Copies of this chain bind each other. A is one copy, B any other.
Amino acid sequence: MRNAPPPTLASAAAPSAATVRDAVGDVLNGIRLVDHHAHSVFADDLDDAGFETALSESGAPLRRGATAFDSQLGFAIRRICAPVLGLEPFAAPEVYLRRRRELGTPEATRRLLDASGVDEVLVDGGYAPESLLGEAQLFAFGLRIRPIVRLEAVAEASAAAASDASGFMAELDRRLDETRATAAGYKTVAAYRTGLALPPARPTDREVTAAAARWLARLAESGAPPRLTDQVLIRHLIWWAIDAGAVLQVHAGFGDSDLRLAGADPLLLQPLIARSAGSDATIALLHCYPFERAAGFLCHTYPHVVMDVGLAVSHLGAAATGVVARSLELAPFSAVLFSTDAWGLPERYAVGARLWREAMTDVLAGFVQAGRCSLDDAARVAKMIGRENAARIYG
């Protein structure tokens, strides 16, 4: 004979839902965030069309008869950033843009970065740096900065500086070695260049040299600036970082229009992740939307894998709670990180941080209100993800 199942937790003495929410919200709002993956912000003023274009990852001309402000990110900026610039929440787009011009880019940037509550940023400087503030200027806004080195950019600079394959290899080795002193970690954009369905094996020296020779020959012929899309060389860079015991950030999931999303599913990387198990490296799966559950599986299965859901949080706006919730399913709480993946608009820092605090509050307060998590554990998880995991992983 079986007994009845145990009673559910008594809810009589439990604090009210509003009290729980306030308590969890206070914890989240108090975290000085470490943003483990973002970029710098625009150096120059934007015109209105430029601002609107920067609201999406598309890069394409705007939709006919529509405005990019009619999107989750557009709504989130009007809600969250308008008050930071001294307006009512949900100010109309034209009002927002006018106020931003009145304040000027430096003052708007200062206010928006300040409002984010982000304390430290690991900055990937490898994408379109010419339009962005340099690290020193970003630092002047009060952010602590640590560099993430984009591996493909190092290879491309090495190719531009070399005349043949052996020269390239020597230059690449030298430049990679140089980064060791300062890099907090490395990043690969293999998802954009080859997709993540990479053969797992470390390529041999012979394969790498042959690939380099092919690439340099093509470059010499075309005269175009180097853009690395060779799978062997990208795997060589990835294995260099793994063998160095570094944190290797891997873009996965949603990104800009250069990406074929089907090739950015982190499950495609499972063979390579399995092959690198037992190394001293950490694989950080970046952003991952809409493959967060797959990324969580990889974090569950391999203790050297971590993840974030950064980019999606900003673009999902009022719907961000779900993507944050999905990052708290299968991944151990020690394997989840905070990022904004902000690029260009300083609004992306303010929005990315605020939306994450709100979404984490929604999710964790929901767990506590349902009696499924203690308030202490919820607070502990929030601090791990907002700051402490990054401190542990990036040292």
Contacts and interface: CB of A to CB of B under 8 A. Distances in A.
B115 A6 contact: yes
Nearest to A354: B5
A9 interface: yes
Contact of A328 (B6, B72, B294): B72
Interface stretch (A40-48, A132-140, A219-227, A262-270): A262-270
A335 interface: yes
Given A5-B354, A6-B115, A117-B4, A68 B142 contact: no
A4 B117 CA distance: 6
Interface string A34-74: 00000000000000000000001110111111111011100
Interface of A: 1-9, 25, 29-30, 32, 56-58, 60-68, 70-72, 75-76, 79-80, 83-84, 89-90, 114-119, 142-143, 254, 256-257, 260-262, 265, 267-268, 270-271, 274, 277, 289-290, 293-294, 297, 300-303, 312, 315-319, 322, 325, 328-330, 332-335, 353-354, 357-358, 362, 367, 370-374, 376-377, 381, 384, 392
Contacts of A257: 274, 301-302
Number of copies: 3
Contacts of A268: 262
Contacts of A62: 303
Nearest to A280: B64
Contacts of A117: 2-5
A330 B267 CA distance: 22
A43 B159 CA distance: 61
